[in-house]
Amino acid sequence: MNARSTSGALLVLLAATACTPGPEPYGVIRDAGLSPDGKTLLVLIEHGTKTTARGNIFRGDITTARPASMRIHGFDRSSGNLGPVSSQPPPAEANAAGDRLDRYAAVTGGTVASLKDCRALYTPCAEATVPNPYRVGGLIVDPQGRRSIEWNGERLVVAPFQALDAAQIRIAREALFRRSVERMRSAATQDFAARATKEDPERITTGEAGTAERDPGMTAFYQLLPGRVTMARFDYGGTTQFAVVWQRDGACVTDSVAVAALIAGCHGTDAPGLERAARGIPRTRPPDPDRMGTTWGVIDGSDMPPGTVTVACHGQPTQTAAKPCDERQGDTACRSALPMLCSKADAALPPRSSLARRLALTAPVRGTELLSVGAADKVCQAALGEGWRMTDGEEAGNKYQVTGIGNVPATSRFWVRAGEGSANCW
């Protein structure tokens, strides 16, 4: 066969693949809302046809939707019966405002507010004592009537529905989070293994394209990063966002304390900690009740300026510490609940000045809750305000004691930060 006949055969083949089957009818729920008197549920459905043109090997199949009409279906909330249907012309432009009920306010007899879309279990729509009707993607739920409405491809179907209470929603949401994280981790691991057979594992990197979850209202993606690190970000309907990083040793780090409690082997951290994990820098330690943190106490300040206090590792009381003061290994088990010493510096004064900082205590907090420096600083800020942070034993240039303005009672030991050393609870 010569080149001309080969070319002609290819053209015939491409032409043969470009056939167009007949249109298929469809119906899609575009919006739902309540009538002004609250007695009727109104469901807006777009009716039309879809035509699929089977393209060639270059462009693939193309599906074109052609709206024919917009129909408003009524549903009587008291009787549970479907009511009248009014038909309206489709919007002049595709994806225009015609998919909203408020466009048809004159037809429905007044202003219509669209139902809140709960997107499965991502928002607490059903947690109210008497919740309003709401949507779950294509499902319309009326908790008061214990009914649901959905389009089955040909007509609206009404079925019994038992709304979840707050506890059931929490359990279901937690299961959903756990499943989503596990699926994302599995997909990223498989992707990495496939690429590692062709690329240097230490240099593999991807854009924000990998995905493994397709629940309504949830978007998620993962990235493969150099150093055998994977980062995934999750967004549940705009109400809950969190990120998870898996490092080369499988360690899991997240910026969501709630998610950390749900995923085995995962622990929470702050934004800087998450960034460090994504760069492959060793993670902060997971909560360890047997780990030892550093505590200080108040020392005699009779020779100090009035209104100031001096705190140190050898301060009082000493009997509440688990063992003698040790700034390298810590002195108190992190399972203990103790106040935390916070400071707010005055940058206008020399660091060693006794007036250069204010000192104050928070309420008792378990050391296992101090997952990172950032997490500890947030405890200070929540208790005392902006600019406060966990006191570092080295911040005054003297790692053995710190003096500042304040009234710190000598009734309990309190957590302090032992610099960058290992005698911290994180």
Residue with more model confidence, 34 or 420 = 34
pLDDT above 60 for 2: no
Per-residue pLDDT tens digits for 32-46: 888 888 888 989 888
Confidence of residue 62 (pLDDT cuts 50, 70, 90): confident
pLDDT at 202: 72
Q: What is the 3-state secondary structure (H, E, C) of the chain?
A: CCHHHHHHHHHHHHHHCCCCCCCEEEEEEEEEEECCCCCEEEEEEEEEEEEEECCCCCCCCEEEEEEEEEEEEEEECCCCCEEEEEEECCCCCCCCHHHCHHHHHHHHCCCCEECEECCCCCCCHHHCCCCCCEEECCEEEECCCCEEEEECCCCEEEEECCCCCHHHHHHHHHHHHHHHHHHHHHHHHHHHHHHHCCCCHHHCCCCCCECCCCCCCEEEEEEEECCCEEEEEEEECCCEEEEEEECCCCCEEECCHHHHHHCCCEEECCHHHHHHHHCCCCCCCCCCCCCEECEEEECCCCCCCCCEEEEECCCECCCCCCCCCCCCCCCEECCCEECEEEEEECCCCCCCCCCCEEEEECCCEEHHHCCCHHHHHHHHHHHHCCCCEECECCCCCCCCEEEEECCCCCCCCEECECCCCCCCCC
Residue with more model confidence, 213 or 139 = 139
Percent of the chain predicted with pLDDT > 90: 8
pLDDT at 341: 95
